[in-house]
Chain A
Amino acid sequence: MPNLRYNGSFNIAKPPSEVFNRLTDLSFIARCIPNVASYELMGESRARVRFMVDLGEEVPIAELRRITADSTIEVVEAKGNSVKYRVNGRAAGSQIEVSLTLTIEPVSDGSRVNWSAETSLGRLLQLMSRFVNIDSMVGRIANDTVNGITKCLQ
């Protein structure tokens, strides 16, 4: 299965420098992830975050509709107007890797944040694609996560 790619953008009524500072503050970002159960900072640029993931009603097994993900989130690059995260984790016994890039540009009433995410699912989660539309499922999760961050920033 090829990597899954998603992108989008959102506007924030705050200046780019403030948005940039918030986006590079892991203690802030960790709290913004929807359904966070716990987080632990491991230095300035890494955090271990446990959060619940809503895989959604399309998953036929009730126990698999809402699962816990254990992940390490790392700010791998923060320069100019761009922040890159790498997320490594496990959910439902399978590996997940996400690369997320956010680019901030000034707009008349604040900032516009363009985001793009590339997700690689472990072999076991890929098995699920035989039963559900995994592309749309992961796309929805990516959007929910970005919406959570947007809400926090606002």
Chain B
Amino acid sequence: MDFDVAVIGGGINGLFTALDLTLRGFSVVLLERGAIGGGTSGRMHGLLHSGARYAVTDPKAAVECIEENKVLVNMAPHAVEDTGGYFVAITKEDEEYVDQFLRGLRQVNIEHREINPGEAVREEPNLNPNVKAVVEVPDKVVFARDLMFSIAISAHREGALIMQGAEVIGFNINGGEVREVSVKDHLTGGVRSVKARVIAVAAGPWTYRVVKMAGIDVDMMPTMGVMVVYQRRLTKRVINRLRMHSDGDILLPYGSTSIMGTTAVIVEDPDNLPISDDDIKFLTSEGSQMVPLLAKISVVRAYASVRPLIKMQGVDTREATRDFMVIRHEKPSNMVTVIGGKFTTGRLVGERLSDEVARMLGSSKSSVTRGYRLFGANLYDDLRELDEPLRSLASSFRGGVDEDRGRVAVLTLLMSEVARDSRRRIGWL
């Protein structure tokens, strides 16, 4: 089976790229070595950025974040909780940053409101009562796996094949172009071959391994961000420390838990992320300055994700990792790579990467994902199109005690069907 495009990587960037290209009419196969969303994207902190965090230091990223924040709410309301967010000044040094922060918000046009600290504490009773200044911003919480499964299911319904357990292990390059992608099929242990006119690499911290196989010289330094999950939800809103961006500056309500993030630790291997007790103590200590009760509740677990620094030809390292960068390689000439990006801007990354791919394929079709409603936005209506007994099982959550928790269960079930159907259609079963 030949495809127009093989997308490598099943995180937020790869998924949105697959959806975008499929909606433009291309035949697409997405190759993911593990499970959809099983890498960095499934280990993010849960924040759908308002852009406020970048308003001072990176206005371009701030503008992208606030725009995509609004787009994603419309595309996938089921995967977003509109919590709102507070930026809170705790110390005198934090307070000195307030004016600069407000100026930054105004410059990038992020809606915000200064809140009287007493009012903020009434709204958020677990907030540090000595908080000195509070600014409200439109931060939201995004349920990562719900969103990614919805994108994968949508892309598949539009015609894309979504291959899980499909690890790229090499490229057959001839005449300066990738002719075939060699894929290890982790389900059977065999090696498969995939042919595509264009190869789009969106493999996050594993990008350097993928492009190296195509003979591209690349250097990479992974950094690990640790998140700690606590037993209780302590706030209604996302609570950010009002200071220059640094480690330990965000606490999120995520379902019934709270998540504190993040550290910035240099590691050697993106597959080996050792989390230390010191990381957990540090995050708890920083978080408890904003919400003192955090120091008294149990830690449920800690997890980590990786953000890489990548250096290769055509990349301005500084620009690329500030935001994201699409690189069309000279050799192989039919390969294009995206590096950087944030979970919040995943759709935009997919659009820009797809623009480049479309150019390579001689197409002028534009992206339509901005106004696209993802599968799951009206979950129980969307289920009508499914076959029995899948529909019957998935629909059984509706109206019952587990309707909310059932959403991710249903999406997981459907994701499994997508993976199975993709294998059948590509002939790997």
Give which listed residue, B219, B278, B307, contacts A61 with CB less than 8 A: B307
B244 to A66, Cβ gap below 8 A?
yes
User: Which B residues are CB-close (under 8 A) to A61?
Assistant: 223, 264, 307, 309, 321
Q: Sample 6 A-B pairs with CB under 8 A, ordered by A number.
A: A35-B93, A63-B246, A66-B245, A70-B282, A92-B266, A124-B268
Minimal Cβ-Cβ distance residue in B for A68: B247
Given A68-B247, A131-B219: 13 more A-B contacts, CB < 8 Å: A35-B93, A60-B318, A60-B321, A61-B223, A61-B321, A63-B264, A66-B247, A67-B247, A68-B248, A68-B282, A93-B265, A127-B266, A131-B311
Q: How far is the CA of A66 from the CA of B57 in the complex (A)?
A: 12
Q: Which residues of B200-257 are within 8 A (CB) of A?
A: 219, 221, 223-225, 244-248
Please give the distance in Å from A138's CB to the nearest CB on chain B. 15
Q: List which B278-335 residues lie within 8 A (CB) of chain A.
A: 278, 282, 286, 307, 309, 311, 317-318, 320-322
A148 to B223, CA, bound (A): 29
Residues on A with C-beta less than 8 A from B318 are 58, 60
CA distance A66 to B93 in the complex (A): 14
User: Which residues of chain B come closer than 8 Å to A65, judged between CB atoms?
Assistant: 57, 244-246
Is B54 among interface residues, defined by CB-CB distance under 8 A? Answer: yes
Q: Number of B interface residues at 8 Å Cβ cutoff, please give it.
A: 32
Shortest A16–chain B CB gap in Å is 32
**Interface residue ranges of A12-53 to B (CB < 8 Å):** 35, 52
In the assembled complex, A141 has its CB within 8 A of some CB on chain B:
no
Main secondary structure of the interface of A (DSSP, over half): mixed
Question: Whole-angstrom distance from the CB of A72 to the nearest CB of chain B?
Answer: 14
Question: How many Å from the CB of A127 to the closest CB on chain B?
Answer: 5
What is the CB-to-nearest-CB distance from B51 to chain A, in angstroms, rounded to a whole number?
13
A60 near B317: Cβ-Cβ < 8 Å = yes
Q: Which residues of B contact A70 (CB under 8 A)?
A: 278, 282
B contacts, CB < 8 Å to A: 54, 57-58, 93, 219, 221, 223-225, 244-248, 262-268, 278, 282, 286, 307, 309, 311, 317-318, 320-322
Number of interface residues of A (CB under 8 A): 25
B337–chain A nearest beta-carbon distance, Å:
17
Q: Which residue of A lies closest to B320 (CB)?
A: A60
| Contact indicator A130/B221 (Cβ below 8 Å) | yes
CA distance A92 to B307 in the complex (A): 13
Instruction: Flag whether A107 is at the interface (Cβ < 8 A).
Output: no
- Cα separation A57 to B223 with both chains bound (whole Å): 17
Q: Which residue of A lies closest to B58 (CB)?
A: A62
Given A35-B93, A60-B321, A66-B245, the answer on whether A93 and B282 have CB atoms closer than 8 Å is no
User: What distance in Å separates the Cβ of B75 from its nearest Cβ neighbour in chain A?
Assistant: 25
